[in-house]
Copies of this chain bind each other. A is one copy, B any other.
């Protein structure tokens, strides 16, 4: 409610002096500083950010665009992002794209008009290129997390899909599995592509002939694994997989649900492994064998890179941070 003018009048100084006190800028005598500060206190003055943004052309607001706040993976990303943002004096605008390019586009427009200083985004897919170009055109710095986008060179924080896939598959192979199915996300998402590539490569290296019919792509949102799973288990025994590698936590859960409906037991009949924990708290349901990614750090470091870029402290070349996964072996993949 109160403005610097109100303060200025009451303190018998110019608005500029008040501004300097508020921002700790320029030189101010101890005496006037105290006088002004007292009145600021008295009048409960809080700076008006809209006005400040207008002149400074920066809002101290960052945007976090993720695909599903309901997924514990992104929940932890959000946590990390928020902690770092707060620490650096920024606030965070939350957007859920639901893996939809259209929703993402709407949000991007909203964000630009909101005047956010930067965007931390888990892109919905390769079409996101268009949205990112919109950001570039509007000179809004951004950092990508979890997924990169074809044709866009930028700072990013990602996991290591190859290593995670390798560890997961080697574990399964070590358990004696050779017919391993893959239930993957859509191929317009970089992580899905990389996991698929790694899957075929690692099987090959292990001397296992991959059966393309054992690999499928489904949507992260619809999560319609049922049909494919049913196909899998109705294969003749010589072809039927004994293990399933699900690309992410939600696909894994959905797959297990499908298996249960079909009266197939995990892990007795089929082992299941995936990326990322489906539980907000590890260790409570120690069931799924996973390649756990450091989600909190995706958010934390993502914001860090973003702020470096915004404040111009970032190196000229783009930074690519790759965070390794940690395999956690639990009962969903263990022989009794």
Contacts and interface: CB of A to CB of B under 8 A. Distances in A.
Nearest to A81: B94
Interface stretch (A72-80, A174-182, A302-310): A72-80
A71 interface: yes
A94 B82 contact: yes
Given A280-B72, A280-B278, A113 B82 contact: no
Interface stretch (A7-15, A207-215, A250-258): A250-258
A283 interface: yes
Interface string A266-284: 0000000000001111011
Contact of A1 (B50, B110, B138): B138
Nearest to A109: B46
Contacts of A94: 64, 78, 82, 92-94
A110 B91 contact: yes
Given A94-B78, A94-B94, A138-B46, A71 B280 contact: yes
A115 interface: yes
Given A54-B50, A92-B94, A137 B44 contact: yes
A112 interface: yes
B70 A280 contact: yes
Contacts of A113: 46-49
B112 A46 contact: yes
Given A49-B113, A115-B48, A280-B278, A78 B69 contact: yes
A84 to B, nearest CB: 12
A79 B75 contact: no
A53 interface: yes
Interface in A275-299: 278-281, 283-285, 287
Contacts of A1: 137-139
Interface of A: 1, 44, 46-51, 53-54, 59, 61, 64, 69-72, 75-76, 78-79, 82-83, 86, 91-96, 106-107, 109-115, 134, 137-139, 250, 253, 256-257, 278-281, 283-285, 287
26 contacts: A1-B139, A44-B134, A46-B113, A48-B113, A48-B115, A49-B50, A49-B113, A49-B114, A49-B115, A50-B59, A61-B93, A61-B114, A69-B79, A69-B82, A70-B72, A75-B75, A78-B94, A82-B94, A91-B93, A91-B95, A91-B111, A92-B93, A93-B94, A253-B281, A278-B281, A285-B285
